[in-house]
Amino acid sequence: MKTFLESLKFPVQEVNKKSSGEKGPGRPPYWEMVFYWTRKPLVGARSVIAGALLPENVDENLFKAAVRLSSPTPHRENPQIPAEFAKYFEGKKLLDPFAGFGSIPLEGLRLGLDVTAVELLPTTYIFLKAVLEYPKKFGKSLVKDVERWGEWITEQLKNDPEIRELYDDDVAVYIGTWEIRCPHCGRWTPAIGNFWLARVKDGKGYKRLAYMKPERKGDEIEIRVIDLNEILDDISKANVDGNEIIFEGENYVKTVEEAVRDGKLKQSDVKIDGNTVIFEVPSANIELRRSQLTCLMCGNVIKYADENGNHHMKLKNGDFYVKFALRKYHEGDERFARQRLLVKVKVKDGDLIFEPATKEDSEKLWKAKEKVREMLEKGDLDVPSEAIPLYENRRITPILSAEKWYQFFNPRQLLTLIKIVRLIREVGRKVEEEKIAEGWNKERAFEYAEAVATYLSTAMLKYAYYNSIVTRWDSTWWKIGETMSTRGIAMNWNWTESPWFSSFGGMIKTLLAILRGVKYLTSALSSSQRTLADFTENSVKVLQGDATSLNLGEKFDVIVTDPPYADDVPYTELSDFYYVWLKRALSDVENGKLIPRFHKEAFFKRIGPKWVEIKTQWQEFAKKEVSTNPGRFMEDENKKEKAVQHFENLFSQAFVAMREHLKDDGVLVTYYAHTDPGSWINLIEAGWRRARLQITRAIPLTTESETSIVSRGKMSLDTSIVAVWRKQKEEKTVQISTLKEEIERKAKSSAREFIEYGYEGLDLLYGVMAAALEEVTKYREISSLKGPLTTEEILNEYVYPATIRGIVNAIAEIEGTGTLHSGTAMFYTAYKILFGNASLSANDIVLLRLATSTDPSELISSGVLKEKRSSSSKEYTLYTPDLLGKKALDTKEFQKFLHEKKLDPVEPKPKNSVDVLQLLEYYSLLGRSRVKEEIEKLRKMWAGEVEEALFIARLVSEYYAEIYIRKIDPVRRMKEEFASEIDRELEKDGFLEVVLMRRLLGYVGGAV
């Protein structure tokens, strides 16, 4: 029997809408405990799990009520499972072998299932324990004790003389950078990547504008703060154009002139031209892409260094001078680079005050450096001296020249973190002793102490995340740009530092985030919140293990997981930023060595009778992680090919392992974040070829944006495709000549069914593709006369074309007679139907290209497709009148559009049916008689193109009319009665070409 998830009744659009709400204020509080790279929306996970357990014939409204889809924010409420559903959940077992930050297993627990969550990496394993195991085991007492012991730690820091002397009590954030000794003039110059301090705007204009200005004073650069709020008060009318801040008006001129007279401004700070006042924010003096630093003292450009530190303006294979200087700094040679502070940020009455940092402020930083130097010389184990994976230069900045993890912190940050590590160790001992004194047995007291110490360690990690020299000051949001906010560890020249007591990124702030998360989790998993009828206590197991070689000794009713994709984030290497601190805080020190304490299996491995420390995750686990990372195979000659093969092998092994753990009637559900055809080949190869599974359904589940084609602008394909798999019932082989007809028939019939049920856009595309794949994956092997076909051949040559043609033909069947003969017409129609006006990446357009046998470069040259390039990517959009916006309904503007495409509406020479279509759309602006006259002219030379153009118009118009009538008149769906209202809605949503198509068809007959 099919599950509800596999049925058309599964409420994809409602789940997507609620999922997209899990951001901003709607985010689950436990997500804020610590940064993690991927977290699936909880309502999506809940709906998928429940749908995978319930039969297809359950009442749709009962399902929605059970998973709380009617709630404004469903994740804030536990599911409400009615008694008649209990048999489908009670005693059922869920496995997630790639559990990540725990969205899927958490919702499994809330549904009353016995849950097993597996993760490879120690860091993620510990996070999972904090999300799943401790809240369920210990409940709300954790909140009180984490709060109490967190306050104890902050009190110890407050009273620590070494820490107290390093920070001013009233500073919330320090903004600092690196100084480089100029090889031209021999003086120190700061490297400043951004001089803005505040550039804050709301709907009424600018609220806050401030910036730094460097000035020479003797042999040093001093920083002045230009705070325009202090000078002008009301800055809402400012016009910011690049680095210029412009004010217009006599009052501004008078105020600025007065500020100059009073000494608040210097004459050189501002330019006055009539009634115009212009402030110029300095440009960055470091340009990484050009390997160039401009000395703020002498103005000379600094370029390259040889191995001895000699400067060169040109040097083949030479290092950027700044990179050389930083490397020397980390080696202990401080002649070339040093750290300095630029600005202090203070909070007063809810506003920020910016003050230049003084020499005394920088001296406090250097004072901490002496203490850190002593610790390094003594070989202090609490300094994280583990090696950074130097091969991972894609996501860990090489410009910093850091080789050890402690080098990502300035001395004060490092010293504070080490103090916190030692305090957490002490808390672990105190909590355990306290619980034993209260009568707890040793095992439970130890586990409870481990839980409290783990949460406090997580708060420390978030503090480290806010406090490193690869953070940045975000002037537009008034916040710290965190260490891994760019999905990697990137170099930022203006780093930030928050004292431990700061509300911006201090321990006090991160402890509050932990408390909110623990409150949420204990509430969600406490027995008082259980809503399942007469269930026995469900269980959770959190395991550190390898998904490619699992051997759990049990089978599961449902496996739901989000497996990695090929070029995923290098979790192993990046999360070592956390690992080196977690290991210290949760281990003990004895005889100059770290020894096991909490989570010993995460930080140590058993070799004979001894526990041996795992230095870093990358050294132990990198080649076990399922991803394509050539850096991990530096010793191989063909490292890229080796990395690809490595990923494909591990990915397939993971699917085989999942099959072995799935009950015969069980369901496997995989999220997959990639939608490009290459990734689908990996997915189908692993699931079907290697694991002998059959795909039965595919659903696009939204994480960040709507998938509806009615949503305008660039379509985000961060959508995860949720694929449903079952074990193959029998091993059959088939000839492709026979299967081709089955695939095409299934694609068309399912498209018709999906359209009737209201599916559109990505939902329609992947629903039909899954139906085609269901036919393919029934068989063990598919052959042609030449022999067995590869997965790539099956997808590219049969599944993708059948999917697109099935959708178009299903709409054509609804519309009536006609056909699309050319690949160009099929491409244009399919794009318009599935993606509307959205822009597609080069990867995303491959599927359409393969399905319609077209080439993007030819489509561009023929005026069907338009290429949009940005600095980092290439995108495509249809070359349609919709690009004009509302002007598409203006005759003169449309005429300009045609001329831009080299189409003359007076003497037309169309290249294809799309050109003909757009000519006819233009004529439709000129009235009925002109349309009929021009059609007859065009038919004399381009009869086939005219018929194909009109058929495109009928197909697209019919499809959009169906979508919009469901919104306007969902019961009767009388399109003719609401024609003008449909046009208004289409115009409002930016589908002007569809409006013109409908007008055209109204003139020639066949309006929809």
Question: Using CA atoms in the order 829, 830, 836, 838, what is the torsion angle rounded to 10 degrees?
Answer: -120
- Rounded Cα distance between 658 and 96, Å, is 9
* Residue ranges of the chain whose pLDDT lies below 70: 485-486, 527-536, 674-675, 703-719, 814-817, 870-872, 970-975, 1006-1008
Residue 896 in domain: yes
Q: Domains in the chain: how many in total?
A: 1
- Rounded Cα distance between 135 and 119, Å, is 19
Residue 963 in domain: yes
| Predicted local confidence at residue 817, as pLDDT | 62
- Rounded Cα distance between 598 and 433, Å, is 15
| Residue showing tokens 């709380």 | 68
State which H helix or E strand residue 981 sits in.
helix 979-988
Q: Letter for the amino acid at 488?
A: G
CA 956 distance to own-chain centroid: 33
| Predicted local confidence at residue 806, as pLDDT | 93
The dihedral region occupied by 599, where left means phi > 0, alpha psi between -120 and 50, and beta the remainder, is left
Closest CA to 340 of 482, 189, 442, 230: 189
| Predicted local confidence at residue 870, as pLDDT | 62
Pairing of strands 593-595, 610-613: unpaired
How many residues in the chain? 1008
Summarize pLDDT for 868-896 with one digit per residue, the tens. 876 557 889 999 999 999 999 999 999 99
Structure tokens at 183: 């090889």
- Rounded Cα distance between 275 and 265, Å, is 18
Containing structural domain, residue 932: 882-1008
CB 968 within 8 A of CB 982: yes
Residue 720 in domain: no
CB 267 within 8 A of CB 279: no
State which H helix or E strand residue 699 sits in.
strand 693-701
Measured at the alpha carbon of residue 122, what is the angle toward residues 119 and 127, in degrees to the nearest 5?
75
Work out the end-to-end distance of the chain between its first and last CA atoms, rounded to an integer number of angstroms: 39
- Rounded Cα distance between 1005 and 1008, Å, is 9
Closest CA to 89 of 120, 123, 58, 126: 58
Structure tokens at 839: 């822009």
Closest CA to 977 of 961, 993, 991, 963: 961
Residue 634 in domain: no
Question: Widest CA span of the chain, in angstroms?
Answer: 99
Structure tokens at 937: 């002219």
- Rounded Cα distance between 937 and 945, Å, is 12
790-816 CB burial, b ≥16 within 10 A, e <16: ebeebbbbbbbbbbbbbbbbbbbebbe
Closest CA to 581 of 367, 431, 403, 409: 409
CB 195 within 8 A of CB 211: yes
Closest CA to 360 of 377, 341, 379, 373: 341
Q: Letter for the amino acid at 96?
A: D
For CA atoms 430, 434, 437, 440, give the dihedral sign: negative
| Residue showing tokens 């079907």 | 688
CA 197 distance to own-chain centroid: 27
| Predicted local confidence at residue 968, as pLDDT | 81
| Residue showing tokens 């630029």 | 342
CA 187 distance to own-chain centroid: 43
CB 279 within 8 A of CB 244: yes
SS3 content of the chain, % helix, strand, coil (to 5): 50, 20, 35
Structure tokens at 684: 């189908």
CB 648 within 8 A of CB 564: no
State which H helix or E strand residue 588 sits in.
strand 588-590
State which H helix or E strand residue 191 sits in.
strand 188-191
Residue 32 in domain: no
Residue 544 in domain: no
- Rounded Cα distance between 601 and 622, Å, is 17
Q: What are phi and psi of 85, to 5 degrees?
A: -90, -10
- Rounded Cα distance between 556 and 550, Å, is 13
Burial of 999 (0-12, 13-18, 19+ CB in 10 A): buried
Residue 897 in domain: yes
Summarize pLDDT for 953-979 with one digit per residue, the tens. 999 999 999 888 888 876 666 667 788
| Predicted local confidence at residue 208, as pLDDT | 93
Residue 223 in domain: no
- Rounded Cα distance between 904 and 923, Å, is 12
